[in-house]
Structure 1
Amino acid sequence: MHCHEQLRFNLFDLNNRLYRTHPIKAIASIQADQLNHRPVFIHPDIEVISKLDLEIETDGLNQAHHRQNSMWQTVGKIALSILVTELILGI
């Protein structure tokens, strides 16, 4: 599910859950999902992928996750402050 969130716009076949995307983007989306995993690459083309490109893509996705988490934390704090204000004022 976490990987699907990153690759949902690259879905090629819904029934078979196939995605059409660049290998760097696919690997970076899995590495940036913040779940514990161990990278094991079995396809021979993976060896030629630049580690720098992979790090750049992964860092970009991590920053996007951080921005999204910060936004939702801000929304939660605003909602909580509204509820506390209503409780205090008795609205």
Structure 2
Amino acid sequence: MENGYKKYLNLVFKTTEDSTSTIKIPKGKEDVTEEKIKNCGKAMVEQNIFQTKNGDLSALKVARIVTTETEEIKIEEYFKSSYIKL
């Protein structure tokens, strides 16, 4: 795993079972607008292309851009040479 940042677009939908469902999309473009997000969410609901355990998607509730930072911690191969013999 490399060190670095990743961005995701999380779309949170209301469902027909009175719950929510989140779809996580890797964010590649910087020009994502509110209008594009709304149009995408509307198409996902209308086309009913996702099945969730919480029911069908019924409306886009909220969209969030989430940034994560990953930092790898180097661990030497300790366990390969340190097996416990019984």
Q: TM-score range by the shorter chain?
A: under 0.3
Higher relative contact order (CA 8 A, sep 6+): 2
**Structure with more helix by fraction:** 1
TM-score (norm 1): 0.25
Relative to the length of structure 2, the TM-score reads 0.26
More strand per residue: 2
